[in-house]
Structures are given as structure tokens and as C-alpha cells.
Structure 1
């Protein structure tokens, strides 16, 4: 029997984000999801290494990869519309959940439980915190897009940048991993490849004379 799950997931590359905005370079859902996956993983690693957490960083990366998969069916609904009021927010959540279940229905019965664990959160404190970090990674990825557009001379994203920065500040107040990533990694975005490679080459520390 044939199953359509992965063929459907592969269509993320056809879903363009920021549809209501003038983009200097279009961004598709596949690109965004990869970036969210990497940042989600990094945030969990920071939490584990620096703050004594016990987060599943590998699962966080998978959650990041699939976090917007429902948009293959719904399309990328602009944030101002999605959260315009509680009624719309609730309705969209229902549509999103239905779309995720439709995707899961495309899996064989024996594989579905493994993927349900990615799409649907477990009711543990660690899982809840990990999912919040994935949400933070989503916001950081959006901010990176705003920075890139701003650096290209496009002023279209200035309001989005401001509101996204405010959202990240609220998240960082409760999650130190977000603060660390923003302080240590975000400043490098927007630099040229030559600048990134030059700055990454540091002289080796010379041993002290005994």
C-alpha cells in the first residue's frame, strides 16, 4: 500500500512565507523549518549544558522541522489575521489541528505513533518547556528574516521586526536560553561571508614560557 505523508511534506518548499509583504528574497516554508529546527536544537543544548535542564534536543529539532507542516494544507496565514481576535485564533487552532491529523492519516498505522509524538506534545514539564523553546526558535527565525530584509534596504519589515523583538524579549525573560542565543549568535546575522570567516579565524594561544 502506498502512503502520501512524505510526498505531501515535501511540498513545504512551495509554501511562501510573508505573503503580504514585499520581499527582497522570498522565503519558503522548507527554509524556515530547517532554521527553526537548528535553533530549537541549539536552545535545548544551551539549556542542558548551562542551566541543568534535561531537554530532548534531538526531538526539539524534529518538532522544529514539522512545526508548520499544517501550512501545506492551510497556507501561511499572516500573523495579524491569525491573532486578530480570540475567535479567529481559536478557529485557526482547530483548522491547524485538523490539518495535522490529515497529514498523520497519510502514515502507515505502525509508524503513526512515532510521528504523533512530534506533532502532539506530551504532558510533562520538560516537554512543555521544550515546546516553548521551539516557539522561541520560530520567533528568532522570523527576526533573522527581518534583519536580512532590513540589511538589503527593504523597509517593509520594520514593524514586523519591532513586534518580533518584543515577543522575543518576553520569552527571554522566562527562558535564559533565548537570551544567550540572542546575545551570542544573533549579532552575526547580516554580516557578509568574508566578515564571518575572517572573524572566525582567531590566533592560537601561545603556550607560556616555563
Structure 2
């Protein structure tokens, strides 16, 4: 049986920020959509703002499947994932096994078309942009929670903002400078 798309449909069941009290719970499907839109934006910024050739669609596709393996592993909280180097290394192995398992849920003739996005995404030259989009999505979630008065996200906000700064990704910096502030506004304040 080919269950690839049924597994992906379960992304909506995987709750993110499991150790945090959220004003608005977020699931992997919602996070993935936001990550895809940001990855697309970062690639457009690279191509159209900084005039560096960039396959915009490929960058977006890398983001589509960036958390797909979590249909098997769940969303392991960051403090657990990075508790120590040995645990992190073991989790990376588990994540790769989950990716390979997910790929096997496709008909064999379709697997080559998905492998670059489901299994081998880190090998792609555009992966750093897709990963930056993932980090920006987490940062924007923190901004939204803080705007709602939830100080539970203050430390995560500060740590993720520092992580973005340390990436030295000019596309991410440009995105933050031009779009992040709007996430602090109410609907009536947006124009």
C-alpha cells in the first residue's frame, strides 16, 4: 500500500512547542505552510533583491518536506533534541531512518522525484535558505505569542533571534527588516 500522502495528512495532528504553554497551539501542517511561504520569499529576495540566481521553486519544495519525517518521530522539543551531542547525533540517525521509511511509502517509480526533498534535502545548495525559513517561522511564532501577552516564549524568542543573527543569512536579515514587525500588529493596524 502507498501511504505517503496519508502520512503527510497526519502532520496536522503533530503539535509543536510541546513543552510550552501556547495562546495559539500550532501543528506541523501549519508550521510547514508558513515555512514554505517564507522559503519562497527568501529565494525571491536572493534572486530579485540581491540579484543572485536562485531556483525559487526548488527552495520552496525543500521546505514542503522539511519536517515530514515527524509523522513517525513527532516533534521532539528543541531542549531535548540538543540536550547533549550524543543524544543529538542519535536523533539525527532516527530522523534519517524516518525519512527513508517515508520515502518507501511511495511507489518505487515515484521515489526518485521525492528523494531530493524527503531524504537528501541537506545536500541541496538551497537547504540553508529553507532551514533559515524554518527558523524564521519559529521566531515569528514567538513574536505572535509575545504580542498576545504570553511571556512563556520570551527566552525562545531571544534565543531564536540570536540564532538568526548568527546565521549571517542576508536574505533572512532582509526578511526580518521588512516583514517581522508586521507580526506585532493587530488586524486593524495592518495596511
TM-score (norm 2): 0.95
Greater C-alpha radius of gyration: 1
Q: Which of 179, 194, 204 in structure 1 is aligned with 2:188?
A: 194
User: Hey, what does 2:59 align to over in structure 1?
Assistant: 60
Q: What is the distance in 1 between the residues matched to 2:122 and 2:166?
A: 24
Deviation of 1:29 after TM superposition, in Å, equals 0.3
User: Hey, what does 2:72 align to over in structure 1?
Assistant: 73
1:39 aligns with 2:43: no
Q: What is the distance in 2 between the residues matched to 1:108 and 1:146?
A: 39
User: Hey, what does 2:175 align to over in structure 1?
Assistant: 181
Count of residue pairs brought into register by the alignment: 190
The change in CA–CA distance for 1:20 and 1:122 in structure 2 (over 3 A counts) is: closer
Tell me which protein shows more helix as a share of its residues: 2
Q: Which of 106, 128, 135 in structure 2 is aligned with 1:132?
A: 128
1:168 aligns with 2:167: no
Of the structure 1 ranges 55-64 and 92-101, higher mean CA displacement relative to structure 2 is found in 55-64
TM-score (norm 1): 0.87
User: Hey, what does 1:110 align to over in structure 2?
Assistant: 109
Deviation of 1:85 after TM superposition, in Å, equals 1.5
Q: What is the distance in 2 between the residues matched to 1:79 and 1:122?
A: 19
The gaps in structure 1 that reach 5 residues or longer are 200-210
Deviation of 1:54 after TM superposition, in Å, equals 2.1
User: Hey, what does 1:154 align to over in structure 2?
Assistant: 150
Q: What is the distance in 2 between the residues matched to 1:78 and 1:122?
A: 21
Q: What is the distance in 2 between the residues matched to 1:141 and 1:121?
A: 18
Q: What is the distance in 2 between the residues matched to 1:51 and 1:158?
A: 32
1:144 aligns with 2:143: no
What secondary structure is seen at the aligned counterpart in 1 of 2:184? coil
1:138-194 Cα shifts (integer Å, max 9, x gaps): 1110011111111111110111001000000011x2x21111101001110131222
The gaps in structure 2 that reach 5 residues or longer are none
Q: Is the 8 A contact 2:62 2:121 kept in 1?
A: no
Q: What is the distance in 1 between the residues matched to 2:42 and 2:75?
A: 25
User: Hey, what does 2:121 align to over in structure 1?
Assistant: 121
1:8-41 Cα shifts (integer Å, max 9, x gaps): 1100000000001111110000000000000001
